[in-house]
Structure 1
């Protein structure tokens, strides 16, 4: 017996006036995986997630969630589905526990012990009896995940769950998503942060202006990534540029906002830096720019998808 895909969207399009928010995109999420929908603001990520929840309907194409469609099954599509779009909202004058208990009643009641289980899972047991009005933004995000888990879903959909969090909150949210994934739950999340997706997702769709720029695994994406770059500061930039000609494994260029930018693999960059020192050129600083995957993300979403595609023609890159 074949297990239905958690999400199967085929040639989905949504138009608002003159804006094609989503343009013939196809996304397939297998049961049990952590799937990322990545793209800059305005790429169409939230519009796509809204269609999964039935908050808006596609103008064309088909959306199946856990094997069901809105046309065939109506609100039954949401059986086994939970999550939130943008930021979750709660009554600020009630405690976290009271908010969750109320949501449970609205959804038909909770099995015994479930509320405590989800509070422990999101690590909020010690703050559950404090009023939500005093929660930090990160705590409200975690409470939103807790509210979603009350439905004991098979598919959890999260719209930029780490957006707006401080570094500690981002770390905690990533750890929470990893714990949920380890439990066998299917997680579909959107993000504009390549690092977040790289750390926790199995597969990814990168969107650009409503279209798909890339489908595939994180491992495949890494094979497309350009060599890492470093900002280089020396006591003799002219000499450093000249010496770069003897090291074909690196590319050195001047940058308007920095002295020099060196691009190459780590061994090649290390060999070049050693050569600078031997030549008597003092190294004042060597700072990494964006990671290779971040650089690739900008290539794919800023319009240079063809250049990224040429890095590996065997990958499924959709323009």
Structure 2
């Protein structure tokens, strides 16, 4: 495989008046990776993707795709690149196949010969005769992936592909991305959902208010994750909090009780303490996963603030 990076973005900055949408970020993605750009709304993910597609230009920094850039190569910088930003749009009164035929005609070349193949890949081979107005949101998202695959890309860029989907749609989209990744395609996926990225991506860049707060592998991130949190609701949360802190557990308040974090054996002992103190236990459930908890810790603190007690670099990363 070539040593040329699929995406090589170095020190990118983009401002809109007083707003810094992307602040000196570096993102480098190797060919064949399934890479996640993760962050809450407003983190700068879509701004980064718009710069990658050449829809907007950075104020400073450099951005190359397979060694090509807009300043040097113009529109050919996007050779081998396909995808969509936000939700893909189609003519609702036309069938799925006819929409793809129109898009293939714009691309020219051999794209039209791939229509049956891409419909099969995205599991729409039995619905291509139906008008798009009758498609579910998930089907339209999959048709967007099919349209992207018409170009036979080397890099597929998907902006929040599971956003707005029901659980079945999320499952189908996740399975589709995994199949595409297994074929050797480089996939760049943006999301605000840690669970989605964790199950699909090899490496991730986490953004907050335009800056990078983590860059590296999912495996390395998982090692930094805190203990699983439990939601606990009782008839006396004040005494429960005292019992939890006596066990050395971390405690925070939620809308419906307490969130308790620490080793499972200590949480188990706390439950026994609660019952032994004649406090009625009204609710006990798992909170967010450890990686989700870490994601919130990284993205909800104030910009520039240290990630307390975490050995995580709050700087732009580079491809390893």
Q: Same fold (TM over 0.5)?
A: yes
Listed one character per residue, the Cα deviations across residues 252-291 of structure 1 (whole Å, up to 9, x for unaligned) are: 45x2622332111223322322443455544322122222
Matched, 1:115 2:141: no
Q: Distance in 1 between matches of 2:35 and 2:165?
A: 21
Contact kept in structure 1, 2:92 and 2:131, CA below 8 Å: yes
Matches within 5 A, 1:241-280: 241-248=241-248, 250-253=249-252, 255=253, 257-278=255-276, 280=278
Residue 310 of structure 1 corresponds to 309
Contact kept in structure 1, 2:11 and 2:62, CA below 8 Å: yes
Partner SS state of residue 176, structure 1: helix
Contact kept in structure 2, 1:299 and 1:307, CA below 8 Å: no
Q: Distance in 1 between matches of 2:62 and 2:160?
A: 24
Residue 76 of structure 1 corresponds to 76
Matches within 5 A, 1:85-100: 85-100=85-100
Q: Distance in 1 between matches of 2:205 and 2:174?
A: 19
Residue 293 of structure 2 corresponds to 295
Partner SS state of residue 48, structure 2: helix
Q: TM-score, normalised by structure 1?
A: 0.92
Residue 180 of structure 2 corresponds to 180
Matches within 5 A, 1:8-87: 8-87=8-87
Contact kept in structure 2, 1:216 and 1:316, CA below 8 Å: no
Aligned residues: 315
Contact kept in structure 2, 1:9 and 1:26, CA below 8 Å: yes
Matches within 5 A, 1:130-279: 130-248=130-248, 250-253=249-252, 255=253, 257-278=255-276
Q: Distance in 1 between matches of 2:265 and 2:102?
A: 58
Q: Which stretches in structure 2 are left out of the alignment for 5+ residues?
A: none
How far apart are 1:48 and its partner, in Å? Answer: 0.5
Q: Distance in 1 between matches of 2:276 and 2:139?
A: 53
| Closer/same/farther in 2, CA of residues 241 and 54 from structure 1, 3 Å limit | closer
RMSD: 2.0
Contact kept in structure 2, 1:37 and 1:188, CA below 8 Å: yes
| Closer/same/farther in 2, CA of residues 235 and 210 from structure 1, 3 Å limit | closer
